[in-house]
Amino acid sequence: MAAPASETPDRARPRVRTAYGEVEGRTGPGAVAVFRGIPYAAAPVGARRFAAPEPPEAWDGVRDAGAYGPTAPKVPYPEAFAALLPDPGIPGDDCLNLNVWTPAPVGEETPSARLPVMVWIHGGALTRGSSAVPVYEGSAFARDGVVLVSVNYRLGILGYGLFPDAPANRGLLDQIAALTWVRDNIGAFGGDPSRVTVFGESAGAVSIGALLAAPRAAGLFHQAVLQSGAPEVLPRDRVRTMARRMAALLGVPATAEAFAGASLPDLLAAQAAVLRRSSPLVGGPAFGLVTDPDTLPLDPLEAAVAGCEVPLLLGWTAEEYRLWLAPTGAMRLLDRLGPLSVALGRIRSGKDRAAVRALRAERPGAGPADLLGHLLTDRLLRDPLRALAGAPGRSAPSFVYEFAWPSGVRGLGSCHALELGFVFDTLDAPEASWLTGPDAPRELAAQMHAAWVRFAVEGDPGWAPWKADGPPMVFGGPGREAPVRVGAPTTRRVLP
């Protein structure tokens, strides 16, 4: 267990002693203390590149925790998405690190604070993203009485490449290692290890779906928030294909031993090449979680539906698909294809013609691209999340939401990831406007952020638990068809 914080006369540079050594953070506005770049596992280099995470080495003296630590190796977003999704890269080997924001006064009394804890797992299709994205700055949570932790984990081939000679789901094992660190150390930062809420968006929510089913994660958290991502595993052959394609480009066998001998730049170049042939909407080979006897023995959705007994907050945005289709011009192409687009959506989603007719009746003004997008979003997100929320025999409450405010960036609507600046109450970060456009409504951010804080503190975000036949709580409007544009921008950035 971590020891109490050490005495320090400089309150601007608070110190806390963890199980591995002392760290020195910074104090920001509102007396919030932040500690960045704390290692929770050893650097995944050399023989550890494709191994399960190992504990970090202890250090002597005081470790500076004033800046974000290295981010996991990754390839940049394609240009169309890089203009919308900030994704800083910080070089260095110690990428298995985390950050802590705490409102607790740092000193001898800190371990007795016992504040609720929230642990953020970022999205990015398990290939991109990090805890250093400015929109994920955690001060607002600490300001409101929550200890906020954000984590980095291995991505792409390093975290999710499937090899015959390496453990599967290494990125998931990293997340479990981070949660173990939280259990053993968060008390020294004023947090209560028995009141931990995990939350994540997109691939972060998919990861949380897996954590709900992973035996190794049992007892490490007590509530969960899944934003725009559902529990899922991919077929092993689909994931293995990514390593095989990369092996062909690298000219080596598709084994962890061979890949460990390749340079990191060569690995990332090969990864970038194979990622161009995958899509979150239409499928194809991809990096993802797989069932595995050691880490994830059961399909996580089936396991969670059968036996998830922690309170859940889960939901989606009203037009998730527009982030993937609008920036590339695919919306216009799909609209030109007309009925063919709708037929493609029906086939790819597994929906029947009656479902298409019902969707047309619900959304009479929707064009072919919107219909396809809604069909695929139902299949990928809304249907499995509804199944999880309304699982028969579930005794813990589920709270379901929809984010319906439309972006000020023309074409994006209420797209995937748009809610993040509202949840973190970080709309003042310049990067938040990349998705929201100018003048996003602060009052909506205050409302949504307060709901997440209340869920962490009380287990209740402020509305009635989900019933299978009831509507979700809608942020930004009374419904999908006519959202109330609270403080909607008067000018809009236009997508190419």
Residues known to be catalytic = 202, 320, 416
Other beta carbons within 10 angstroms of residue 385's beta carbon come to: 27
What is the length of the chain? Answer: 496
Question: What phi and psi values does residue 88 have, to the nearest 5 degrees?
Answer: -65, 145
H helices of 442-495, in order, are 442-458
Identify which of 355, 385, 282, 370 has the alpha carbon closest to the alpha carbon of residue 320.
370
Identify which of 158, 250, 189 has the alpha carbon closest to the alpha carbon of residue 2.
189
| Cα 314 from Cα 302, distance rounded (Å) | 17
Q: How many CA atoms lie within 13 A of 110 on its CB side?
A: 27
Place of tokens 């310049």: 430
CA 105, chain centre distance (Å): 29
Q: Judging by DSSP bridges, how do beta strands 62-64 and 147-151 pair with one another? A: unpaired
Other beta carbons within 10 angstroms of residue 299's beta carbon come to: 17
496: Cβ contacts below 8 Å, ≥ 6 apart: 80, 327, 329
| Cα 190 from Cα 184, distance rounded (Å) | 12
Place of tokens 């799909």: 334
Burial 67-78 (b: 16+ CB within 10 A, else e): ebbbbbbbbebe
Question: What phi and psi values does residue 215 have, to the nearest 5 degrees?
Answer: -55, -35
| Cα 384 from Cα 380, distance rounded (Å) | 7
Query: Does residue 231 sit in helix, strand or coil?
Result: coil
Q: In which element (H, E) is residue 325 found?
A: helix 322-325
Identify which of 197, 88, 200, 192 has the alpha carbon closest to the alpha carbon of residue 134.
88
For residue 109, the one-letter residue type is E
| Cα 174 from Cα 304, distance rounded (Å) | 21
**What is the DSSP secondary structure assignment for residue 396, as one 8-state letter?**
S
Q: How many CA atoms lie within 13 A of 116 on its CB side?
A: 19
| Cα 476 from Cα 193, distance rounded (Å) | 34
